Amino acid sequence: MRLVSTTKRTIKIGFILVLGSLTASSQENSPFSRYGLGDIFPGQHVISRGMGGLSAPYVDAQSINFYNPASYSGLKVVTFDVGVGIDNQTLRQQSPVQKFTSINFTPSYIAFGVPFSKKHNIGLAFGLRPVTKISYSIQETKRLTGIDSTANLYEGTGGLNELFVGMGKRWKGLSIGFNTGYRFGRKETNSRVFIFNTDSSSYIPYSNSNAGTVTTFGKVFLNGGMQYEQRLGTNSALRLGVNANFQQSFKASQDRVRETFFYDVNGNPVRLDSVADVKEVRGTIITPATYTAGIMFIRTVQDRLGNRSDKASFGIEYETSEWSKFRFYDAPDQLVNRYEVHIGGQFTPDPFSVTNYGNRITYRAGVNFGRDYINADRNELKTFGATVGAALPVRKWRSFDNQFTMLNAAFEYGRRGSSVNNITENYFRVSFGFSLSDIWFVKRKYD
C-alpha cells in the first residue's frame, strides 16, 4: 500500500528561490517604467503566453491558470507550477539617435494547486507572482551660464508583487472562482544633479544634489472569474470566460530626502548636508480595475478506456484597464486606459499516442495587439506581439498514479511604440514553465 505525505522541504525551497529572484537586481533599463507603477509584467501562465496571452476561457487539468480562478475547479491532482523567463529588450531613440540592449532573467510565478473536493468539483490554488516592475536609469546633460554644465540622473527600482490564494467550483458547465491575498510593493526613485565647473572664469563651489523618495505600499485584494462551457456534440464544446480585478486603494508610506552629497573612493554616495528628511508620509495609491472576456472553441478526443483530452482549441479575448483613474498620492500620471486583444490556439496531433512522441506534443501560436497604459510623449504606445509555444511531456500521464511532468515553453516577439514615438521598444522573450504532479512531492511507504 502506498501512503502519501507532502514534502515540505521542496515547497519551501521553491518559495525561497522565487522570493530571492523577485528582489534580485537586474541590468534592465526601461524608461517607460518611470510612470505609474512600472511596466506591467506578463501575468499569464507560460501556456497562455504561447497562445498570444489567451487566458480567461482556458482550463487545463495539468496546470494552474491563476489568471482566471474559475479554472481551479478543473484541477484533478495536486500540481506544482513554476515559470521563468529571459527577456532581450532593445530600446531605440530617434532624437538624439541612441540604442540600448539588455538581457534579463525574470521569475514569472510559483503556484500550487489542489483538488480540494473532487466529488464537488472544488479546486484550491495559492502562489506568488510579480505584477509590475520598475527599473530605469536615464541621464540628461545641460549647459548652464556660469556653471558650465550639469548632468541629471533619474533612477528608479521596485515593483508590485502578489501573494494569492483562490478557490473555484463547478456546477455542470458553470465554474465560478475567486482569488484573494496580499499585494505589496515598493517604488524607490532618485533624481541626482551633478555640477561640472571647468570653464568658468571663477570657481563656484556647487555641490551635487539628490532628491530621493522611497514609497512602500500594500493591500488585501479580491478578484473573481467565471467560465461557462457548452457542449456542441460528443467531441466539441464552446467555453466562455470572464474575470475582473477590481480597483484598489493601497495604503502607502513614503520617506523623502533632499540632500547634497559626494562620492567616496569606492563610488558610494556620502551625504554632505540634508535640506529635508521626512519619514513615513502617509498617503494612498489607487490602481484601476481590469476586465477580461473571451471565448474558446475546443475539440476533444477519447481513448479506448474512456479518458478524454483536448486535441485542438482556438480562442479570442479582450482585456481593458482604466489607468486614467490611477492616482499616486492624489496625483495623476501620464497614463491612458489600456486595452489588448489576445488571439491564439493549440493543437495536439494525438494526445494518447504510445509510439510517436511528436504526436503527444502540444503546439501553440497566437498574436496580441493593443495600446499600452503609459503615455509619456502624449502620442500613445501601440503594442503588438506574436508568439509560439509547445508543451513537451517529460513523463506521460499515467492514470493509475496521476503522475505527469510537462515542460511548457513560449517564444514571444513584440514591440511597444511606433514611428510617432521618440522612444520605442522591441523585445524577444523566452519563457519556460514546469508543471509537476503530486507524485513528485511524496515518499512511498509499504505496510
Residue 36 located in a structural domain: yes
What total number of domains does the chain contain?
1
C-alpha cell of 421? 514615438
Question: Is residue 334 within 8 Å of residue 378, measured between CB atoms?
Answer: yes
Residue 418 located in a structural domain: yes
Residue 447 located in a structural domain: no
Residue 3 located in a structural domain: no
Full pLDDT tens readout for the chain, 447 residues: 333 333 344 334 344 334 444 434 345 678 899 999 999 988 889 999 999 999 999 998 888 999 999 999 988 888 999 999 999 999 998 888 888 888 888 889 999 999 888 788 899 999 999 999 999 888 877 766 655 677 788 899 999 999 999 999 999 999 999 999 999 999 999 988 877 655 555 445 567 888 889 999 999 999 999 999 999 988 999 999 999 999 999 999 999 998 887 777 777 777 777 788 899 999 999 999 999 999 999 998 887 777 778 899 999 999 999 999 999 999 999 999 999 999 999 999 988 888 888 898 999 999 999 999 999 889 999 999 999 999 998 865 554 445 568 899 999 999 999 999 999 999 999 999 988 875 544 555 544
Q: Which domain holds residue 165?
A: 8-441
Residue 401 located in a structural domain: yes
pTM for the structure as a whole: 0.86
C-alpha cell of 432? 519556460
Q: What is the CATH number of the domain that holds 280?
A: 2.40.160.60
148 backbone φψ class: left, alpha, beta (φ>0; ψ -120 to 50): left
Nearest-angstrom CA–CA distance, 261 and 269 = 6
Residue 143 located in a structural domain: yes
Give Cβ neighbours of residue 414 (< 8 Å, ≥ 6 apart).
368, 383, 384, 385, 386, 426, 427, 429
Residue 100 located in a structural domain: yes
Residue 407 located in a structural domain: yes
